[in-house]
């Protein structure tokens, strides 16, 4: 890798600073990372060999240590910048329990609680004296919130709510930190007063005793079992059988029930939607994009170290990176990491701008923001998790071992396609907004992420050279044209079907396969456009700007080449132009390849974060693999116990099988 690093033609540290958002940010991040890595109690250790139980227990231990020992020692608090950065993509990662407590329970308390309620529970939560979960999903319902079955019936006489799960499928199911850790739940239930239903409301419910940690009466709670990943989290089930809580435990920023049973709505819950956008941007960055960046780092470094096969017959073996098919597997995902990272940043910034507008009582930007975040959530989480799996396979046999680190990275990134809004459902939400836009574009001027729809002129691409297809303005135009045209086509089909008498819900369903594709086109357009215009504004050295331009073009071209059908069908590109775009992508791969190691080094993931024998900074793959393997649980004894018994049977001796 040393030799590879020698040929990188840009300043890696400069790019790291840009990625971090400034040199100061890099400095602070490294300071935090160093503290973590130098503390043996909190540094990761061989998670790839642990059982589910060990992972959970270790996660609890690490988290408690972090908050109760390390923070005070360093003079940090849960809200100081150093700590908020932990929760971001660049640091200690997910090998820690209580993620829902810190990342969902507390923020929701702040969103739903009255000032009084916040004053009562927040300090306890911050000190981990209460540990909370966010319990919304039930066994039978996740996506369709109105279908949730748990009820909170107001008992006027006792001034209490009675929380009840009427059947097995009404049990809360999946909430993180619920199974074994939490003693409180911020629980969503159907409010019922005098037999009348008022919809879903948030309640604070204590579920375990604060001293013995035993479940309270009427409560059945436990872990839901092993799963693809997230071993440190005890996603749980919770059954409530006529459990009584005080009236004051309805979190009442938005709605309140008076002692006499009168129901009062207060603020609108639009705010809540706004904060969901923020959560989404953070989750995307920390769970999906950074996971992709880690997988890229591992696969690129390993591909440079791994020598296998002769390229030129009779010559020495080459690193597998020399194969074009390998470059095609890796480099577009390096590019994707960069472009989606900045697209997520843009989403966060858009949210911040929105909160400023909201202070002036202007919430007109919400629908667009909401649609954009839903679409981004689905497209980015899918692109990233698919990419991680391709990167894993690109490591050949060793990619299949936990030693590579990628299986664990993938297993939590892929969950992001499902939680916080199932991806297809998110795509269709975004689609609804886009269809509305395209139907209004003749009369209303579109702004923000849909502004490109204003330009409705028909045209075709005029580029006729390979180099032309590396121009960012050309690529942006391709994506905008294509996104607009597939949207127009889908909207046309919809209105055609309804005009011919189909009910609109049915027409929607009949068009939903196309609509999913529309949103993918819209979002890749957003990602490419955002990055391209970001580069223009960026102040940096020429070599760094160059490499960022190449990355943007590579991402765009790899998207075009993966769906040439769309571009041909809308008549924007000709078959010959598609060939040029393909050649442009191949040329870019060769251009970027010498910088590959620099591009992943610039992400600056420490070895501690990567947890990979294949992807460590020094490229010392084989020694690490051997050292790691020796720690396999099966190697605890030279002869596994069962094998003796097995051999007894094999040899016909008696055994108690």
Q: How far is the CB of 211 from its own copies (least distance, A)?
A: 9
In angstroms, the CA 572 to CA 481 distance is 7
- x/- contact string, 202-231, with its own copies (CB under 8 A)? ----------xxxx------xxxxxxx---
Give whichever of 299 and 414 is closer to its own copies, judged by the CB atom.
414
Site for its own copies in 295-314 (CB under 8 A): 307-313
For the chain, state the CA radius of gyration: 27
- Enumerate the H helices of 448-571 as residue ranges: 472-499, 504-537, 542-562, 564-569
Choosing from 349, 355, 418, 533, the residue that interacts with its own copies (CB under 8 A) is 418
Q: How far is the CB of 312 from its own copies (least distance, A)?
A: 5
Q: Does 396 help bind ligand FAD (rule: CB under 6 A)?
A: yes
Residues with a catalytic annotation lie at 420
Q: How many residues bind ligand FAD (CB under 6 A)?
A: 33
Q: How far is the CB of 24 from its own copies (least distance, A)?
A: 33
Determine the interface stretch with its own copies among 295-303, 315-323, 465-473, 544-552 (rule: CB under 8 A): 315-323
Give whichever of 98 and 134 is closer to ligand FAD, judged by the CB atom.
134
Choosing from 149, 471, 498, 509, the residue that interacts with its own copies (CB under 8 A) is 509
In angstroms, the CA 207 to CA 79 distance is 27
User: How far, in Å, are 134, 386, 576 from residue 464 at the CA level?
Assistant: 55, 32, 8
- x/- contact string, 309-348, with ligand FAD (CB under 6 A)? x----------x--x-xx----------------------
Give whichever of 173 and 354 is closer to its own copies, judged by the CB atom.
173
Choosing from 103, 176, 179, 202, the residue that interacts with ligand FAD (CB under 6 A) is 176
In angstroms, the CA 609 to CA 599 distance is 17
Question: Is 652 one of the annotated binding-site residues?
Answer: no
Q: Of its own copies, ligand FAD, none, which one sits near residue 176, judging by CB under 5 to 8 A according to partner kind?
A: ligand FAD
Give whichever of 18 and 304 is closer to ligand FAD, judged by the CB atom.
304
Question: Whose CA is closest to 334, among 321, 349, 317?
Answer: 321
Q: Does 31 help bind its own copies (rule: CB under 8 A)?
A: no
Site for ligand FAD in 228-257 (CB under 6 A): 230, 235
- Say if CB 546 and CB 591 are below 8 A apart: no
Q: How far is the CB of 82 from ligand FAD (least distance, A)?
A: 26
Q: Of ligand FAD, its own copies, none, which one sits near residue 4, judging by CB under 5 to 8 A according to partner kind?
A: none
Q: Does 142 help bind ligand FAD (rule: CB under 6 A)?
A: yes
In angstroms, the CA 335 to CA 255 distance is 46
CB atoms within 10 A of CB 335: 27
Provide the 3-class DSSP secondary structure of residue 445.
Answer: coil
Supply 657's token pair: 């099988």
184-193 vs 132-135, strand pairing mode: parallel
Q: Of ligand FAD, its own copies, none, which one sits near residue 510, judging by CB under 5 to 8 A according to partner kind?
A: its own copies
Question: Whose CA is closest to 33, among 96, 103, 86, 89?
Answer: 86
Write the DSSP string, 320-371: GGGSHHHHHHHHHHHHHHHHHHHHHHHHHHHHHHHHHHHHTT--TTHHHHHH
Determine the interface stretch with ligand FAD among 40-48, 80-88, 128-136, 462-470 (rule: CB under 6 A): 128-136
Beta-bridge mates of residue 135: 187
Beta-bridge mates of residue 185: 133, 205
Question: Is 443 one of the annotated binding-site residues?
Answer: no
Give whichever of 307 and 456 is closer to ligand FAD, judged by the CB atom.
307
């Amino acid at each position: 890798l040393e030799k590879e690093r020698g040929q990188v033609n840009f300043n890696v540290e400069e790019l790291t600073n840009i990625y971090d958002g400034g040199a100061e940010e890099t400095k602070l991040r490294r300071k935090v990372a160093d503290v973590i890595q130098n503390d043996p109690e909190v540094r990761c250790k061989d998670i790839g060999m642990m059982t589910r139980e060990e992972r959970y227990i270790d996660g609890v231990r690490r988290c408690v240590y972090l908050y109760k020992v390390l923070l005070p020692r360093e003079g940090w608090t849960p809200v100081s910048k150093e700590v908020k950065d932990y929760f971001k993509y660049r640091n200690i990662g997910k090998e820690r329990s209580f993620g829902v407590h810190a990342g969902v329970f507390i923020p929701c308390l702040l969103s739903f609680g009255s000032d009084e309620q916040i004053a009562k529970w927040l300090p306890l939560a911050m000190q981990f004296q209460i540990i909370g979960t966010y319990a919304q999903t039930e066994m039978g319902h996740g996506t369709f919130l109105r279908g949730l079955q748990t009820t909170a019936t107001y008992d006027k006489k006792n001034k209490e709510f009675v929380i009840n799960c009427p059947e097995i499928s009404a049990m809360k199911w999946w909430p993180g930190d619920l199974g074994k850790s939490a003693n409180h739940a911020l629980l969503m239930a159907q409010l019922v007063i005098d037999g009348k239903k008022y919809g879903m409301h948030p309640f604070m419910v204590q579920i375990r005793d604060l001293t013995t940690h035993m479940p309270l009466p009427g409560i059945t709670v436990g872990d839901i079992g092993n799963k693809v990943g997230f071993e440190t989290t005890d996603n749980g089930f919770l059954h409530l059988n006529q459990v009584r809580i005080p009236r004051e435990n309805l979190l009442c920023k938005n709605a309140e029930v008076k002692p006499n049973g009168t129901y009062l709505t207060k603020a609108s819950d639009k705010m809540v939607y706004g904060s969901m956008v923020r959560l989404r941007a953070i989750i995307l960055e920390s769970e999906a994009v950074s996971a992709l960046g880690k997988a890229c780092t591992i696969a690129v470094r390993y591909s440079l170290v791994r020598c296998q096969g002769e390229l030129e017959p009779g010559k020495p073996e080459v690193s597998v990176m020399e194969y074009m098919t390998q470059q095609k597997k890796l480099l577009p995902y390096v590019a994707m990491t960069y472009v989606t990272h900045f697209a997520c940043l843009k989403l966060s910034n858009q949210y911040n701008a929105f909160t400023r507008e909201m202070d002036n009582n202007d919430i007109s930007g919400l629908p667009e923001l909401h649609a954009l975040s839903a679409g981004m959530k689905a497209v980015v989480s899918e692109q990233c998790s698919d990419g991680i799996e391709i990167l894993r396979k690109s490591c050949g046999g060793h990619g299949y071992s936990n030693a590579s680190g990628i299986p664990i990275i993938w297993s939590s990134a892929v969950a992001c396609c499902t939680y916080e809004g199932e991806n297809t459902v998110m795509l269709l939400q975004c689609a609804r907004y886009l269809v509305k836009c395209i139907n209004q574009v003749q009369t209303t001027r579109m702004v923000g992420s849909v502004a490109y729809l204003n330009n409705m002129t028909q045209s075709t691409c005029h580029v006729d050279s390979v180099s032309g297809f590396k121009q960012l303005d050309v690529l942006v135009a391709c994506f905008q044209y294509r996104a607009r045209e597939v949207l127009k086509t889908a909207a046309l089909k919809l209105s055609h079907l309804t005009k011919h008498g189909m009910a609109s819900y049915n027409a929607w369903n009949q068009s939903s396969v196309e609509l999913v594709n529309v949103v993918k086109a819209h979002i890749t357009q957003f990602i490419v456009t955002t990055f391209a215009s970001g580069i223009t504004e960026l102040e940096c050295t020429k070599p760094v700007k160059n490499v960022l331009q190449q990355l943007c073009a590579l991402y765009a071209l790899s998207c075009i080449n993966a769906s040439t059908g769309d571009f041909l069908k809308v008549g924007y590109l000709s078959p010959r132009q598609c060939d040029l775009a393909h050649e442009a992508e191949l040329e870019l791969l060769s251009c970027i390849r010498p910088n590959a190691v620099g591009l992943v080094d610039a992400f600056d993931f420490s070895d501690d974060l990567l947890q990979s024998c294949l992807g460590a900074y020094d490229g010392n793959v084989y020694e690490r693999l051997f050292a790691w393997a020796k720690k396999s649980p099966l190697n605890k004894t030279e002869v596994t116990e069962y094998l003796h018994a097995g051999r007894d049977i094999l040899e016909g001796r008696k055994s108690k099988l």
